[in-house]
Amino acid sequence: MTTPLPALPAIEARDLRVTRGEKAIVRGVTVAAQKGEVLGVLGPSGAGKSTLFRAMVGEIPAASGEVRLFGEDVSGAPLWARARQGVAYLPQTPSVLWDLSVRDNLRAYHRVVHGGPWLSSLFRRGPLPGEDEAIKELSERVALDDRMDLRAGELSGGERRRLELARALTRPPKVLVCDEPFAGVDPQQASRLGDMLRALADQHGVAVLLADHHVAEALRVCTRAILLLDGQVAIEAEPGAFEEHPLVVGRYLGNWGRTFPPPLP
């Protein structure tokens, strides 16, 4: 009997190096996420998490190394080509269309993805066939269906992040790269967002890469985590072991909270 070959990772970086100006920011990172897995990419500010993500999605070029999608080398492919191959990206910086309503934000992205080759579809009055239903379904998936007529600029931080997530789901992704989805979001909303990411992996087989400083929430939803230090992978661990690892304590989380202050009476 032959043993089945292990599945190819949905996305992987092989010995990836990224330089900005004269400086090497990502220094030989090898990392992979399988279908249905949430991989936490954690580490202190300046470790290179966003730079790694930006190179993996094709926003910036890598100096050397490879990015592969299901085994295919896409290192030379631009962002839009990787997006068409199923890579969705939630950038660190806010990216909603502030003055449009939630509905019109979703409609704009839906038309960009599904509106066909004619630019005129972007300016068409009235919905395209199936558009209203698709937008409704997307808004329900991120629990924004009761906010459809609100201007995106009036959303809370958590709601805005969910709108950005909905946009990333307009073309059903195979890989979702999420840069600090919980930043500026209260714990309850972060937990709701975390559940959505987990569900995307569990129910839809999406491979999720997740960077965030809300370590507890990130570890709650991830299946594996790496610690990035100075542009290199320092450790890789199960979520349960990650927080206790001496390098994580010493170089990232610190031990202030473990010894001081004394417990409240």
List Cβ neighbours of 13 (8 Å cut-off, separation of 6 or more): 29, 30, 31, 32, 52, 55, 56, 65, 66, 67
Residues within window 53-112 making contact with ligand ATP, judged by CB under 6 A: none
Q: How far is CA 121 from CA 88, 129, 137, 167, 170, in A?
A: 23, 11, 21, 18, 16
Part in contact with ligand ATP (CB under 6 A); list of ranges 48-56, 67-75, 139-147, 149-157:
48-56
Which residue of 46, 130, 172, 250 would you call a contact of ligand ATP, by CB under 6 A? 46
Sole window of 47-55, 96-104, 113-121, 144-152 interacting with ligand ATP (rule: CB under 6 A): 47-55
Tell me the site size for ligand ATP, rule CB under 6 A. 11
Nearer to ligand ATP, 41 or 102 (CB): 41
Nearer to ligand ATP, 46 or 71 (CB): 46
Residues whose CB falls within 8 Å of the CB of residue 61, separated by 6 or more in sequence, listed in order = 18, 55
| 209 lies in the binding site for ligand ATP (CB under 6 A) | no
Cβ proximity to ligand ATP: between 109 and 182 the closer is: 182
Q: Does 21 bind ligand ATP (CB under 6 A)?
A: yes
User: Cα dist. 52→91, 223, 230, 235, 259 in Å?
Assistant: 12, 19, 12, 16, 34
Helix (H, G, I), strand (E, B) or coil at 118: coil
Binding site for ligand ATP (CB under 6 A): 20-21, 25, 43, 45-51
